[in-house]
Structure 1
């Protein structure tokens, strides 16, 4: 085994049908999601569990090259309906970050962002327990999906601690990790997350995760509904949200120049 020195984390949101351009950014169709996973497998990538990823970050285990962590934000019903069967067929694990007060409801925070005002169903407790039995892991995405840096200290603590307590009560398992809503965080948010007992947190900043990284600023790659399987393959290889052919060619050219001892212009 050739051990990896860097691990990308993929971030999906809704798996389903998009009905306007705004939705197409963060909604991946079921057929495209299957194409994504099939191509990653064909190119030698394999998903690891959240526990394996964190143990690797701590230096207690080695993981093979082309390991990645698969995450879903929000807990949309499409994860259960469309993503889970694909992942079960591959034997791949995933982690879902849940909005605790909206389990079994809808993504009401999107009403103000989606031009159509449409919202979509989120998984309920039955769906979550079913996926737990299949190896899915669930963690916190706060209580109501707010912009955390805009909250006062009391509201911030309630969002972070309340979500942990509610999800632990619902699922009967420890809730130790957080994904910041909208990726928004600052030093005060980070300290508050530490204070209420989270062990690590995920941002939306792109790039690879490596040994020695700040555990409360872990990086993830956005997967868009417009990403073809080939574009996703380029993203995960480059550690970039830009999966264009031009980006890939520039990356390859810079690596070649580096090996030749030259500097790109």
Structure 2
């Protein structure tokens, strides 16, 4: 395969846009900071504070990146390079947003446009044009979501649209059929709305397992992102790319320190052990919440199996 690839086009053909390569073809020499945001707004419930950055702070953070000589690329552009073993340019960063909230358009897009930064926006497909019902526990269940026409405008502005499931469940504790439906349908729904490829996926809550990663591959995605609050490692699975959580508390200089490795570590085995234990706890909670229905009793037989 030639080591020349075309940049990812958010409005490209549904048939051909990204070579179907699911494993890397060679070593990559450096780590890549992939930033994770959710909301950019001045109005938010305090319980949601960790996931919301004010427009003023967001502009400060993006300004620091620009002044530091960084440029931003989409996740699919990054994944293309990683897939074929091409080096990622120095001072490269990926900016991502989860959920598909309406305030991306008003709070984040003007800043990204000002600095010429690309970004990838992961949308909860079943909530397009509605509100963020899954955020009820954080007092933000009425936060408006993007409309279909908003997403089309974002594509025209060069923003990549990715999928974030249909209803924002904890995919790794769903049964295989339900998880497959959440993943597969989200891509179909978004591609139908956009008439454009949807090639990257973000796991809701950052929860991924061997099974969910395999389902995302099978659904036709080319990459997927988790959380981990870590720099993306050169040897990471393209369906488990790590991201750094960016908060309101981070000044521009703090962000530069973070992406240079201060306070962020590459994924380690200790993280996997903690993840497996927490997944087991969440499964047990789900079984109790569902009252051990017939389906839940069957699922309980597999509680000791880490996937």
TM-score range, shorter chain: 0.7 to 0.9
Counterpart Cα distance in 2 of 1:73 and 1:133: 19
- Aligned pair count? 238
Q: Deviations over 1:132-173 (max 9, x none)?
A: 101001011000100102211221111011101100100111
* Residue 132 (structure 1) aligned with residue 155 (structure 2): yes
Secondary structure of the residue that 1:131 maps to in structure 2? helix
1:234 corresponds in structure 2 to: 257
Contact 2:48 2:140 in 1 (8 A): no
Match of 1:25 among 50, 56, 67: 50
Counterpart Cα distance in 2 of 1:50 and 1:99: 17
Match of 2:72 among 47, 72, 88: 47
Counterpart Cα distance in 2 of 1:10 and 1:177: 15
* Residue 190 (structure 1) aligned with residue 213 (structure 2): yes
1:260 corresponds in structure 2 to: none
1:99 corresponds in structure 2 to: 124
| Root-mean-square deviation over aligned CA pairs | 1.9
* Residue 212 (structure 1) aligned with residue 235 (structure 2): yes
Contact 1:96 1:137 in 2 (8 A): yes
Give the deviation of 1:118 after TM superposition. 4.7
Q: Which runs of 5+ in 1 are unaligned?
A: 243-265
Q: Which runs of 5+ in 2 are unaligned?
A: 1-27, 266-307
Contact 2:76 2:223 in 1 (8 A): no
Tell me the TM-score normalised to structure 2 length.
0.73
Counterpart Cα distance in 2 of 1:81 and 1:42: 23
Q: For the structure 1 residues 20 and 241, does the alpha-carbon distance in structure 2 shift closer, same or farther, using more than 3 Å as the test?
A: farther
Secondary structure of the residue that 1:52 maps to in structure 2? helix
* Residue 180 (structure 1) aligned with residue 198 (structure 2): no
Q: Deviations over 1:60-115 (max 9, x none)?
A: 5333211011100001111100111111111111100000010111111000x21x
Contact 2:37 2:246 in 1 (8 A): yes
1:222 corresponds in structure 2 to: 245
Counterpart Cα distance in 1 of 2:29 and 2:156: 29
* Residue 163 (structure 1) aligned with residue 206 (structure 2): no
* Residue 199 (structure 1) aligned with residue 222 (structure 2): yes
Counterpart Cα distance in 1 of 2:190 and 2:129: 13
Q: Which moved more, 1:182-191 or 1:226-235?
A: 226-235
Tell me the TM-score normalised to structure 1 length.
0.84
2:91 corresponds in structure 1 to: 66
1:90 corresponds in structure 2 to: 115
2:268 corresponds in structure 1 to: none
Secondary structure of the residue that 1:135 maps to in structure 2? coil
